[in-house]
Amino acid sequence: MKIKNLVCLLLAILLCGLAGCGQADNTVRYRLDKAASSINSETVAQNERYAMEWDDENKNIILREKSTGKSWADIPLEYLSNGGSSESVNSTINITVYEVTTSNITEVRGYSGAVENGRLFCKKIKNGIRLTYCFDDYEIAIPVTYTLKDDCVKVTINGKGILETGEKYKLISVSLAPFLCSAKNDDPSAYLFIPSGSGALMYVNENGRKTRKYAGELYGEDASRIIQESDKNETAVRLPVFGAKSGDTAILGIVGEESGTTLIEAEAGNTRTHYSSVYPKFYFRGFDNVTHPNNGSYIERISEDISKRNCSVEYYPLIGNEADYNGMARCYRNYLTKNDKLRQSDVEQQPYSVTFLGGIEVSKLFMGISYTKLFSMTNYSQALEIIKELDEQTANSSAVRMMGYGDGGISGGSLAGGFVTNSDFGNRKQFNELKEYTSNNSRLFWDYDLIWMKKSGNGFSYSNDVSKTAILMKAERNQINVPLRDFNTKNAFRVLKRSLISDAMDKLLKKAKKQGIDGISLSSLGSVSYSDYGDTKYYEKAQMSSDVRSIIDKAVKNGSKVAVSNANSYAASVADIIFDAPSDNGGYFVLDANIPFYQLVFSGSKPMYSSAVNLSGNIKQSILHAAIGGMGLSYTLINDYDVNFSSDVTQKLYGAVYSGNKTAIVSAVKKYNEFFEKIENSKLLKYEILGNNVSKSEFSNGVILYANNSDKTAESPAGILQGYEYAVVTQ
């Protein structure tokens, strides 16, 4: 009897379970339909300056400035008034989905995928509106909220609200408001602002050109992503901003810090829609590029779980004098200041900086037995001698950064080079002498790599304390050989687990304190953003910005000065000094002009130095870029060079030997200092492209610099300029 009852009970449970499974899809869709509603065209939110309107007919959000009547819309109003019917312009959201069975990736437009089928639902919320796009064919629903704030509209994808009920399709990414930041191609003054490198413009005119497309991953490629090839050196997007100018209006988009993996995409001079636009694409699933085990072809594999974070963009409308890239830079600077994210540094800007490279691992033979040895390229005494000599001969002091003074040198070893400076470079006395000499103006920084490691040490394991990729492999990177750019498969660098970065910093601060080091350089931490699919908290680069900021805060509170290098916005804004600040846009063909947006944002708040002038392919151009942005020059030096350095060495050590560079440094710095003294303690206010490859940089103390950005002679308001020359005018 008892057994019968038990069997009946089990059967009942099983039936209930099965019934539940069958109902899952319908239940979700039912709940969505019940919750969804629609509203008529009306003003959904307003404040003193702006009104946000919902156009139910066109399913369009319009932001209107009350005083001038200027408007910005998800679907350009002029386009609608001209009866435009392009599916791409009518789509206020696009998604990409991954078909599980075929591994195909498909882009689905919001218009044909949801709106046209009547599957866009909207609901008024406080100060805004919530739109839910239901892509029924893919069983995916995306909730997007538009919230009016004092001076902007915040558009957010609520990650937790994303529904993905089917088994066949997986959501990968969402492109948000693709035409909110747009301009009509026939406007000759219009352009898109792209944050590639230091900043770039894409002119929207068609002029017989093909549609130009740009895509750049915000904060650079995810270090925890498996890649198969790397054809060239890409220039990363360091600032979470993008914009468009058209006529006397402009709009700036600032990607929210919590947004994680984001691609900034742009299309200029689109010959079909005749509109140009720039927009963010948020990733909700990570992916790895792997080799097919059977045929060797490249295939993509995505992460199993979806990221539940919110992704947002704040759109700032700009009018009149503010409606250009200078205004956009001011707007972003104000945004950082207002949100208490831009720290004013008290470190003094010098006209130049010097980076010393300590050691490098070289392979040697002893009785035929190969072994690696740390070769000292610049020891403490040599560095001190060089600093003294340069101080004396240039009549200026420099900011000094010491790289590769830990375990493994610049070849890499255990995490942060073992957190200590290696005794191979000199004894304690020599170390202290160097410290003492450079103690004034906080000008000495020791670089620690808190992300990459090549072996275990100091409690951080090369095997276990490693981030995971989207398909849960250990995240690692190989070096690239010239000229065929194939990967050197030996000695891969691995990426530290995201959850351990803070612990590593704690250890570093403790050890640095013990050694009396107060200038810490975090080159890799400031420039590398990555995910860790071993922990749901860190999917899709989530929290990277806030984590790094809090780590740097911790160091600052500890009394340290923090330097970063080629840094992402979140690190650059809170650091005390920026080395290797980006000074060009990467030279992408699709980009039309180079602008020092990065410098417009950060100049005056902290010292900034260019990338190494002496290692640059075009030295004159490097110095010019530094001058345009009001930055200090930078030099990377070593004292000793060995012709037997491995051919695998990817660093440009050949150009760093001090003896070969001394004369050039002294003369360049002396000349540069004539300009630098004039702009001392001022910041870059405005940058203008005058035509004929001449640009104008205006500094806050009234100094104007005219620069010839080409190799040909050009005429400027300050007279004839030779190729890559500049002239300074003091008002």
Partner 1 sequence: MMKKTIMLFGAVLLIATMLFTTVSAAPTDAFSKKNNANGSSTSTLARDMYSPTIKISADTLGLEKPFEGISDICFDADGSIYILCGGEGNARLTVLNSDYTFNREVLVTENGKPVDYSGAQGVYVDKNYNIYISDKVHARVLATDKNGNVIKSFGVPDSPLIPADFIYQPTAFCMDDKGYFYILSLGCYYGALSYSPEGEFLGFYGANTVKASALATLQFLWSKLTDNDTKKSQSAKTLPYSFVDLCVDSEGYVLTCTGQTDYNDNGSGQIRKTNSKGANILYKSSNRGKAESSTAVNFLEDKVVRRNKHNYVQNIVSIATDTEDYIYILDNTYGLIYVYDKECNLLNGFGGGLGNGDQLGTFANPVALAVYQDTLLVADFKNCSITVFKRTDYGNKLYKAQSMQIAGDYEQSQELWQQVLDVDSGNQLAYRGLANYYYSCGEYENALKFAENGMDYNIYNLSHQELLKASLAKNFIWVLLAITVCAAVIIYVVIRLKKRGKQIITNQKVRTFGGVILHPFKTFGDVKYKKRGSMIISIILIALLFVSYTLKSTASGFLYRTADSETFNLFFVFLQTSGVLLLWIIANRLVCTLFSGKGTFGEVFIASAYSFTPLIATTFIYVVLSHFVPLSASGILETLGVIGWIYSLFLLCISMITIHEYDFFKFLSTSIAVIFFMIVIIFVIFFILVMLNLSGQFLTDVFEEITFR
Residues 490-509 that bind partner 1 (CB under 8 A): 493
Rounded to a whole number of angstroms, the minimum distance from the CB of residue 289 to partner 1 is: 5
Instruction: Using CB under 8 A, pick the residue from 76, 110, 143, 216 that binds partner 1.
Output: 216
Q: Please name which of 555, 340, 337 lies closest in space to residue 448, comparing C-alpha atoms.
A: 555
Q: Which region, judged by CB under 8 A, interacts with partner 1, from 22-30, 53-61, 596-604, 651-659? A: 651-659
Q: With contact defined as beta carbons under 8 Å apart, do 177 and 279 qualify?
A: yes
Beta bridge partners of 715: 720
- Applying CB under 8 A, does 647 fall inside the site for partner 1? yes
Instruction: Using CB under 8 A, pick the residue from 128, 220, 519, 596 that binds partner 1.
Output: 220
Structure tokens at 656: 């760093």
C-alpha–C-alpha distance, residues 520 and 542, integer Å: 25
- Applying CB under 8 A, does 304 fall inside the site for partner 1? no
Please, which of residues 241-300 interact with partner 1 by CB under 8 A? 263, 265, 287, 289, 295-298, 300
C-alpha–C-alpha distance, residues 402 and 564, integer Å: 13
Rounded to a whole number of angstroms, the minimum distance from the CB of residue 186 to partner 1 is: 16
C-alpha–C-alpha distance, residues 395 and 381, integer Å: 21
C-alpha–C-alpha distance, residues 493 and 414, integer Å: 10
Which residues 6+ apart lie within 8 Å of 449 measured at CB?
Answer: 412, 415, 416, 417, 523, 524
Residue 466 exposed, middle or buried by CB count within 10 Å (0-12, 13-18, 19+): buried
- Applying CB under 8 A, does 209 fall inside the site for partner 1? yes
Rounded to a whole number of angstroms, the minimum distance from the CB of residue 598 to partner 1 is: 13
Instruction: Using CB under 8 A, pick the residue from 1, 3, 21, 369 that binds partner 1.
Output: 369
- Applying CB under 8 A, does 188 fall inside the site for partner 1? no
C-alpha–C-alpha distance, residues 297 and 529, integer Å: 28
C-alpha–C-alpha distance, residues 333 and 318, integer Å: 14
- Applying CB under 8 A, does 19 fall inside the site for partner 1? no
Rounded to a whole number of angstroms, the minimum distance from the CB of residue 544 to partner 1 is: 14
Element (H, E) at 671: helix 658-679
How far, in Å, are 171, 599, 717 from residue 569 at the CA level?
A: 28, 11, 34
Rounded to a whole number of angstroms, the minimum distance from the CB of residue 76 to partner 1 is: 23
C-alpha–C-alpha distance, residues 707 and 124, integer Å: 52
Q: Which region, judged by CB under 8 A, interacts with partner 1, from 82-90, 206-214, 305-313, 699-707? A: 206-214
Please, which of residues 662-721 interact with partner 1 by CB under 8 A? 710-712
Q: What length is written for the chain?
A: 731
Q: Which is nearer to partner 1, 59 or 238 (CB)?
A: 238
Q: Which is nearer to partner 1, 225 or 507 (CB)?
A: 225
Rounded to a whole number of angstroms, the minimum distance from the CB of residue 34 to partner 1 is: 34
Instruction: Using CB under 8 A, pick the residue from 22, 118, 617, 691 that binds partner 1.
Output: 617
Please, which of residues 503-542 interact with partner 1 by CB under 8 A? 523-524, 527-528
- Applying CB under 8 A, does 579 fall inside the site for partner 1? yes
Going by DSSP bridges, is the β-strand pair 169-176/93-99 parallel, antiparallel, or unpaired? antiparallel
Q: Which region, judged by CB under 8 A, interacts with partner 1, from 12-20, 33-41, 73-81, 215-223? A: 215-223
The phi and psi torsions of 35 (rounded to 5 degrees) equal -75, -30
Q: Which is nearer to partner 1, 310 or 614 (CB)?
A: 614
Q: Please name which of 504, 472, 524 lies closest in space to residue 219, comparing C-alpha atoms.
A: 524
How far, in Å, are 288, 314, 329, 613 from residue 241 at the CA level?
A: 26, 9, 9, 28
Largest CA distance in the chain: 106
- Applying CB under 8 A, does 67 fall inside the site for partner 1? no
Please, which of residues 99-158 interact with partner 1 by CB under 8 A? 105, 107
The phi and psi torsions of 697 (rounded to 5 degrees) equal -110, 130
The tally of CA atoms less than 13 A away on the side-chain side of residue 95 is 30
Q: Which is nearer to partner 1, 326 or 527 (CB)?
A: 527
Rounded to a whole number of angstroms, the minimum distance from the CB of residue 401 to partner 1 is: 8
3-state secondary structure of 249: strand
Instruction: Using CB under 8 A, pick the residue from 223, 384, 705, 721 that binds partner 1.
Output: 223
Rounded to a whole number of angstroms, the minimum distance from the CB of residue 631 to partner 1 is: 12
Please, which of residues 333-362 interact with partner 1 by CB under 8 A? 355
Rounded to a whole number of angstroms, the minimum distance from the CB of residue 456 to partner 1 is: 15
- Applying CB under 8 A, does 562 fall inside the site for partner 1? no
Please, which of residues 413-452 interact with partner 1 by CB under 8 A? 449, 451-452
Instruction: Using CB under 8 A, pick the residue from 16, 18, 35, 215 that binds partner 1.
Output: 215
Q: Which is nearer to partner 1, 77 or 473 (CB)?
A: 473
- Applying CB under 8 A, does 40 fall inside the site for partner 1? no
- Applying CB under 8 A, does 479 fall inside the site for partner 1? yes
Torsion-angle region of residue 219: left (phi > 0), alpha (psi -120 to 50) or beta?
Answer: left
